[in-house]
Amino acid sequence: MEYLPQIVFILMAGFFGFLIARRISRIAGNIKLGKKANLAKNDGQRLRNMLLIALGQKKMFRRVIPALLHLLIYVGFILINIEVLEIVIDGIAGTHRIFAPLLGNAYTVAINFFELLAVGVLFSCVVFLIRRNVLKINRFKKIEMVGWPALDANLILVIEVVLMAAILGMNGADQILQSRNADHYTKTGTFFFSAGMFGRLDALDTGTLILVERAAWWVHIVGIFAFALYVTYSKHLHIAMAFPNTYYGRIEPQGKMGNMEEITKEVKMMLGMPVEGDNTPSPEGMRFGARDVNDLSWKNLMDAYACTECGRCTAECPANLTGKKLSPRKIMMDTRDRLEEAGKNGLDDGKSLLGDYITKEEINACTNCNACVEACPVSISPLDIILQTRRYVVMEESGAPGSWNAMFQNVETNFAPWKFGVQDRFNWANELKENG
Amino acid sequence: MISEIQIPTVADLAAKGEKPEVLFWVGCAGSYDDRYKNVTKAFVKILNKVGVKFAVLGPEETCTGDPARRAGNEFLFQMQAIANIQVLNGYEIKKIVTACPHCFNTIKNEYPDLGGNYDVIHHSQFLQELIKEGRVRSKSGGTFKGKKITYHDSCFLGRANNVYAAPRTVLEALDAELVEMKRCRTKGLCCGAGGAQMFKDAEPGNKEINIERTEEALETKADTIAVACPFCMTMMSDGVKNKEKEDAVKVKDLAELIAESEGLD
């Protein structure tokens, strides 16, 4: 019986570890459904981008108040997790605060610092809950946020509040037990925040207090494991995906559209020009543009998992601002939802990204202004997905709006997008010479 | 003055065994659009005045393919691009300047994948160079003294290519007061015409994008809305007309403003 808590702990950690590993491999498999991404080579620039944008939160600071609050949570979670190391060792070895005797005063300073961070996290989470549920912040109230996305956002914040409360409660109870010289409770010195917040636990008898301390300890650590699993199903996955996503983010000018090599080959063969490398015609049934997730690149799919639905893209999208259906955030959410579905049911389930999730009305409304791309704090490009679906609509369905077809025809016959005659192209020069 | 204007084509120069220092890529709007032709003319006057050895393709120029590509027609884009690259490479063109940010973006960023490698600059950058070198006198004439100008960032110049400073440097040379709109530079609001929207009606919504942007421009109380893109020119001019402010507020391209201050209009 003496080893029961340790056995339970190891089984619990193994259980969650297994589920998390299985989920990670599913996500990796889903991302690999994507096609090859043509990424410019410059590892140094990529590393710099990751350090600045993900680690350094550079683009978050385009909106200062949420950036500061977010920074509190971000720093808190990274640093407080150092303490989780001790909790895990204690859980496996059956010890209690194994680092306390080793570190002495430094331990007290460290835990006080973590408590300060925990209070910062609590504060930010409460403000974020108010921003999402009380204040009328437009980008949190868009139609794509109704239902699960809004609940997901609130759940994340509530779980974080519970985790922080548990760590502070655990420390608070621990100190009172220390003062009563309870067995196993190593002397650590005072933790100011938890002492202040949970001083009233002193009214409990020692037996109950041990129960409270143990309960808080278990809630905290099981909570962390469960939350880690939850994150892999949630928009909160950005805590991990922000790093690879900024690394593999675009380093070329944002205005550049990727070239379709398979079309270059066909056009060159049509014009009787030499084709480098493989000059066999493209196989029948090859699809131009994107209808479903497997027509997109793996970077587009990684983008979908990196999106935390903050809506900064949508808040700056000129189409969305003027009441059009297009929301760049919804493009990313749709891509992830479809990818999850296709990963589970297979790609041949009779559904597709374009049509069942994203509509032509949405992609047709895009002005290619790059505001969404510029606004994204983790280097996601909704625009890239929009452009690839447009290619499918035009080249596979001939489904462009009529006036675009007319424009295509003008370019083909008059070499200008308007219906002007080729012979009139240089008229301006005569006008200038004659009239100044 | 009138007879002095030189508009050589690359073919003219080639016949004499010469090559231009810089090719002026006029673009379809610059060639056909009545309003933007005035920008082409203003820029050519500036080129003539400072004595740059330039040339145009004239009848040999065709659409870069940008609107086709952005609408999704990659075939048509590549047909256009490859044909244009054959012409440009045939004339051994090295440097290109254009007054259209869409042409600028396409030739600079997208033609290299298809074998077209040139040093491409936008006319705002070209004018900035001329000002820096003192070939265009800054703060002259006082035509603009006491006037307020606001600059509308073109998406294909700004976010697409990070050109924010050049157009502003050009405007500062005018000795007018440059006032910024609430959304400017990286946060600049689109005029609504990019991504081939110029060539179709907007999707259903509750407002036209150019009206939203025009309202923001009018809030600055500027007398002039400066633009650096033919599509922005159309959208902002339409917006100002819609607000019945066309008598009080003018929409002008950078080249027109510089030409005015140089007494070339």
Residue A234 in this model has a pLDDT that exceeds 50: yes
3-state SS class at B225: strand
Residue B3 in this model has a pLDDT that exceeds 90: no
Q: Cβ neighbours of residue A337 under 8 Å, at least 6 residues apart? A: A357
Residue A275 in this model has a pLDDT that exceeds 90: no
| Residue, of A286 and B151, whose pLDDT is higher | B151
* Residue B6 sits at the chain A interface (C-beta within 8 Å): no
Q: How much is the average pLDDT of A171-194?
A: 94
Q: Which of B251, B160, B178 has the alpha carbon at shortest distance from B213?
A: B251
* Residue B264 sits at the chain A interface (C-beta within 8 Å): no
Residue B245's H or E segment, with its range, is none
Q: Note the pLDDT of residue B1.
A: 46
Q: What is the nearest CA distance from B177 to chain A, expressed in angstroms? A: 26
Q: Where are the domains of chain B?
A: 2-128, 138-261
* Residue B113 sits at the chain A interface (C-beta within 8 Å): yes
Q: Where are the domains of chain A?
A: 4-247, 276-401, 402-436
Which positions in chain A touch B160 (Cβ < 8 Å)?
253-256, 370
Contact at CB, A428 and B40, closer than 8 angstroms: yes
Q: Cβ neighbours of residue B204 under 8 Å, at least 6 residues apart? A: A323, A324, A325, A361
Domains B2-128 and B138-261 share a fold: yes
In the chain, the amino acid numbered A338 is R
Model ipTM value: 0.96
Which positions in chain B touch A267 (Cβ < 8 Å)?
75, 78-79, 82
Q: B56, B96 in Cβ contact below 8 A?
A: no
Q: Note the pLDDT of residue B2.
A: 46
Q: Cβ neighbours of residue B133 under 8 Å, at least 6 residues apart? A: none
Residue A284 in this model has a pLDDT that exceeds 80: no
* Residue B187 sits at the chain A interface (C-beta within 8 Å): yes
Q: Chain centroid to CA B143: how far?
A: 22
In the chain, the amino acid numbered A350 is G
Residue B44 in this model has a pLDDT that exceeds 60: yes
* Residue B201 sits at the chain A interface (C-beta within 8 Å): yes
Contact at CB, A321 and B80, closer than 8 angstroms: no
Cβ within 8 Å of B, A 326-345:
326
In this structure, the strands spanning B22-25 and B177-179 are unpaired
Contact at CB, B72 and A266, closer than 8 angstroms: no
pLDDT tens-digit profile of B126-147?
999 999 999 987 665 567 888 9
For residues A365 and B190, what is the distance between their CA atoms, to the nearest angstrom?
A: 13
Q: How much is the average pLDDT of A158-166?
A: 97
Which CATH number is associated with domain B138-261? Answer: 3.40.50
Q: What is the nearest CA distance from A150 to chain B, expressed in angstroms? A: 25
In the chain, the amino acid numbered A281 is P
Q: For B161, which of A255, A267, A424 is closest by C-beta distance?
A: A255
Highest mean pLDDT among A1-10, A312-321, B168-177: A312-321
User: For all residues of chain A together, what is the average pLDDT?
Assistant: 95
Which CATH number is associated with domain A276-401? Answer: 1.10.1060
Q: Cβ neighbours of residue B180 under 8 Å, at least 6 residues apart? A: B150, B151, B220
* Residue B89 sits at the chain A interface (C-beta within 8 Å): no
Which positions in chain A touch B67 (Cβ < 8 Å)?
407, 411, 417
Which CATH number is associated with domain B2-128? Answer: 3.40.50.1860
For residues A379 and A248, what is the distance between their CA atoms, to the nearest angstrom?
A: 9
Q: For B2, which of A373, A428, A433 is closest by C-beta distance?
A: A433
Instruction: Using CA coordinates, name the residue in chain B closest to A62.
Output: B187
The DSSP secondary-structure symbol of B247 reads T
Q: What is the nearest CA distance from B146 to chain A, expressed in angstroms? A: 28
Sorting pLDDT into bands at 50, 70 and 90, what band is A136?
A: confident
Which positions in chain B touch A369 (Cβ < 8 Å)?
155, 159, 190, 194-195
For residues A96 and A78, what is the distance between their CA atoms, to the nearest angstrom?
A: 22
